[in-house]
Amino acid sequence: MQMGEHRKGIAAAAAIIGTAALAWAGWALGASGTGAKSVENAVNLVSAAVGLVVGLASFAVSWLGYRADRRQHASGLPLAGIVDEFAVAVRAQWEAEARTRRLNDPYPLPVSWAPAEPAYRPDADASALSGTDADITDVFDRVPGGRLLVLGEPGAGKTMLLVRLLLGLIERRAPGLPVPVIFPLASWDPSQQDLVDWLAGRLTTDHPALALPAPGQDQGAPAVSRARALLDRRLLLPLLDGFDELPRHLRAAALDAINQALPPGHPLVLTSRLAEYDAVLTPAFGVPAHLNGAAAITLRPLAASDAAAYLVRDAGGRGSPSAARWRLVLDQLADEDSPVGQVLRTPLMLFLARTIYNPRPGAGPLAPGPAPGLPAPDTLLRFEDPAALRTHLFDAFVPAAYRDVTPERATQAEDALTLLAEHLDHGLGGAVDIEWWRLSALAPKAGLRRKAAALLWLWFALITLACAAYVYVHRNLEAPHLTSGMTVSILLPFVFLLKATHFQDPWLSLLQATLLTLALEIAVARLLAAMIRFRPRQAPVTAMAWTWRWRAVAVGISSGLGVGILVANGFGWFGGVVWGFGAGIVLWSLSGWGVVPADLSAAVHATALMEQDRRVFWRFVLVISAAGAALGTLLGMVPGFLRALTFPPPYNTLDSAYLLFPAGIGLGLALLFSPTLALVVAFRRTAWGEAAVTRFYLAGRRNGRRLPRDLMAFLADAHEHRGVLRQIGPVYQFRHIDLQRRLANRRPAARR
């Protein structure tokens, strides 16, 4: 927090506390009556008010100072210190992801490469570019200008090589030097987004700390985020993964945008499938496009001996019975013309095969009794077409990943993954990021609004039934106290029905009024639910913060005074001013609340991001509900109190019916409506509410595929224990784009 904001926060706290002190002092003086004893009581009350105000003011100033110190420390690091902290976060993130993807289990696959054909690198020298596995860091250091194009067939290990390059570069990185960051290009739309803007947005989504203002900016200049500052000063090394995953018609424009935003001299790495990049390089119509100033390498297929040794080692090593099962397959693997010899030559296909036919320890059946034999790899020899063999591996992978759960749960998991794949491929136009804050696109808006209306009406029903039960139990309908005022405001039809029936059957009137109230509340709930947008969001929120806005001050105070004038007409200027300022400050305070990214120094896990957004959701509900309850009580209490002052004691005491009954009316209306309005505001400001309603809707529907109720636990399990998903920042992706497309486009007969 800057010093100006600190002072504004203190001024706001002082204004609120001062208004409270004014209201208390006015009440004390008005209720004191006349005489020495009354004056003494008033002085004591005012003294207590002053003491309380001083204590509250001290607490407020201390709290604001503490918050300012924390924010000053968070934003006080220079940019070099920020990039060093960011390097630690990136390294931890990708080391964990490498373990999850089992890149080193049982050992790293020896992926090798060679210089690409000259057509792919017209501006660069390709000498000394050949290498294998961990050599990629040395090769990158030898590339002139640090611009490298990595080409390969589907599943050849491009992303795996990129992860190894990232970890190798961070290992050698000196303080203050650029940090390599992997950016999956599939979520970029070059026709709508500037590349640097998209890179900065992706960084702030994956690492919310980078959304904070960069240090060292000029006073009054437009704020620049840390992410944008790091990009502008070339303190980040973009590793752009999956050029081929962009839509076909956007690839040439994307390559041109990359050349414009990251010209020669700006290091970068770009990966792509060979055929997709070749289509841009040699188009049927138009001018060819290529990555300027980049050296290019092409990944080679795995050697048959390397693939065979890897499968044998993963199965337990030579001489083990489980490894002997692969004998016939390994014989075919040496024949490059056989389907097995063509398919099992990439890291992706080897991973699928090992998952299906080499179960991990503990992945056996759940039922007691003798365990069935291991799956036989010989089934791979039944396929005469390489495409059919690849399809078989994709189809068998998900059931194999869930072989340790019951068949029912395995089917549910496959259905959920298929639904997510269809959502990405068809609903989001081929996107690859599974973002929980964009799940509302999975369900129709009408269905989601019905669920939200049911949630809002549930609160209405609870309050209404509680009031009806109170009236029925106490059977005292005339007592003018706080609870009776609440009953009258919540069960307003009850009063009219009592008058219409002349008190002939109050309990029948109570039943009729309750049913009528519940019916009216259904319409109100549907109206409030219609205010919720239910549309996919760009990003969730991670914190709730109050910001100073003069427009909010003007609107809040003017609105409060407008209503205060109405109060003053009936109860005098004092009541109008007190109520107007009190209501205006409450409205101003509420209008200043917004959402900002959290101040974090590490990459945010998807579950942590959802938890933060959920906390912000309920904070909005609590803050607005509490403010509404206070405002409603004040609205009913101040006019009633001013009227009570015109009566002699004991009618002007705190337990006077003239004070409590209107206060109960205001509190009842606030209890009825402020939580529901707070829920609507929370739905609109955060992503968790809409995502929760979407999950509830999809988990409960009877026809079609369903998502599990605990979606984040399911996604985390699919990533950490099944290997079906991978994680990049706070989003999940299918392990490979071809797996996603296979799940999304299988024929119904092929689905379980």
Say which CATH number the domain at 246 has: 3.40.50.300
> Both 47 and 87 in a single domain?
no
In a domain? residue 551:
no
Answer whether 60's CB lies under 8 Å from 10's CB. Answer: yes
DSSP 248: G
Tracing tokens 């961070």 back to the chain, one arrives at: 170
* Whether residue 59 sits in one domain with residue 95: no
Q: How many domains does the chain have?
A: 2
CB 185 within 8 A of CB 432: no
107 lies in the same domain as 168: yes
Q: How many residues comprise the chain? A: 752
pLDDT value, residue 238: 96
Identify whether residues 204 and 240 lie together within a single domain.
yes
Q: Are residues 128 and 227 in the same domain?
A: yes
Q: Quick one: 34 and 177 in the same domain?
A: no
Alpha helices in 263-346 (DSSP H): 274-281, 304-314, 321-324, 327-333, 339-343
Which of 299, 327, 344 is at the close of a domain?
A: 299
Please tell me whether residues 56 and 123 are part of one structural domain: no
For 458, phi then psi, to 5°, come to: -60, -40
Look at residues 310, 416, 409, 397 and name the one whose alpha carbon lies nearest to residue 359: 397
Token pair 């000063």: residue:
233
Residue 402 placed within a domain:
no
Structural domain includes residue 58:
yes
Asked if 737 contacts 432 with a C-beta cutoff of 8 angstroms, the reply is yes
pLDDT at 124: 59
186 part of a folded domain: yes
743 token code pair: 């799940």
Helix (H) or strand (E) holding 725: strand 725-728
CA of residue 384 relative to chain centroid, distance: 46
238 φ, ψ to 5°? -70, 125
Give the pLDDT confidence score for residue 287 in this predicted structure.
Answer: 82
* Residue 705 exposed, middle or buried by CB count within 10 Å (0-12, 13-18, 19+): middle
Q: Are 329 and 389 in contact (CB under 8 A)?
A: no
Place of tokens 């945010």: 604
Q: Is residue 580 part of a domain?
A: no
Helices (H), 372-505: 386-401, 407-422, 445-474, 482-490, 492-501
Does residue 169 share a domain with residue 230? yes
β-bridge partners, 726: 733
106 and 164 part of one domain: yes
User: Are both 199 and 59 inside the same structural domain?
Assistant: no
Identify the DSSP state of 723. -
d(C-alpha 430, C-alpha 186), whole Å? 8
Tokens 């048959």, located at residue: 304
Question: Are residues 182 and 35 part of one domain?
Answer: no
Q: Residue 348 CA to chain centroid, in angstroms?
A: 30
Asked which of 299, 328, 359 is the last residue of a domain, the reply is 299
Instruction: Please report the pLDDT score of residue 741 as a whole number.
Output: 92
Residues whose CB is less than 8 angstroms from the CB of residue 626 and which lie 6 or more positions away in sequence, other chains included = none
Mean pLDDT of successive 10-residue stretches along the chain, which has 752 residues: 44 52 50 44 42 44 44 58 90 86 80 86 69 86 89 91 93 92 90 91 81 75 84 94 91 93 92 93 84 91 90 87 90 89 92 89 51 78 92 94 89 92 86 84 86 89 80 60 62 57 57 79 86 75 68 66 63 61 65 54 66 87 81 66 61 58 70 83 86 85 75 90 85 90 76 48
Asked which of 24, 47, 75 is the last residue of a domain, the reply is 75
Burial class (CB in 10 A: 0-12, 13-18, 19+), 426: exposed
Same domain, 181 and 155: yes
The pLDDT assigned to 342 comes to: 92
CA dihedral defined by 582, 584, 589, 591, rounded to 10 degrees? Answer: 150
Range of the domain at 209: 80-215+223-299
Identity of the residue numbered 129: L
| pLDDT (0 to 100) of residue 392 | 94
Beta bridge partners of 545: 594
CB 734 within 8 A of CB 724: yes
Q: At what angle do helices 606-644 and 550-571 cross, to 10 degrees?
A: 30
- Which residue type sits at 708? P
CA-CA distance, 466 to 471, in Å (whole number)? 9
Could you give the CA distance from residue 547 to residue 376 in angstroms, rounded to a whole number?
A: 64
Residue-level pLDDT at 237: 95
Residue 250 lies in a domain: yes
Q: Which two tokens stand for residue 378?
A: 């010989």
Output the pLDDT for position 66.
Answer: 42
Q: Which two tokens stand for residue 441?
A: 């696109």
Please report where in the chains the tokens 């009580």 appear, as a residue.
633
Half-sphere exposure of 660 (CA within 13 A, CB side): 13
Q: What is the spatial distance between Cα 708 and Cα 62, in angstroms, rounded to a whole number?
A: 45
From CA 726, how far away is CA 236, in angstroms rounded? 23
The pLDDT score that the predictor gives to residue 367 is 45
Site of tokens 């704020």: 223
Residue 192 lies in a domain: yes
Residue 116 lies in a domain: yes
Encoding tokens for residue 32? 């004191």
